[in-house]
Amino acid sequence: MPVQPICVVPGPESVDDLVTRIAARDQAAFRRFYRRLVRAVFAQVSASLGSPALAVAVTRAVFVEVWRLAPVSGCRHPDGMAWVSAIAARRAAERLREINGPTPNLHCTYDAHLGHELAVALGAEPPVQLETFSRTATD
């Protein structure tokens, strides 16, 4: 599956700078990173999956993985955009295998868990509502 290029909303900090700050567990940097990249990641994942509803859950998973992995591997990636795009492509491919393969359908509970984990990483309450974004992004 080819990786789709994604466009990023410009900001004062580079994506690489934000990844470095996320690696240091800076929630404010993660919120800026999320706001800057969520539309691009959603578009990439939606194009791969062909379903905005599935793309919402996979987009959540991408950002949760960024939050989890940044302290471990974020600083080793000189191109933060390529890193996030690769995570998105892998997550979309995993979801397609889950849908098409013999694995049990666990996505409802898992997706709810990811939504909660993303909200915690963003420092948001209540959980982030990407479903609203999926409706507006596809209009």
Please report the pLDDT score of residue 123 as a whole number.
82
Taken in order of first residue, the domains within the chain and their CATH numbers are 15-137 (1.10.1740.10)
Please report the pLDDT score of residue 61 as a whole number.
94
Please report the pLDDT score of residue 93 as a whole number.
92
Enter the pTM of the model.
0.67
Please report the pLDDT score of residue 136 as a whole number.
42
Distance CA 126, CA 70 (A): 24
Which residue positions in the chain have pLDDT lower than 70?
A: 1-11, 73-77, 102-113, 125-139
Please report the pLDDT score of residue 8 as a whole number.
57
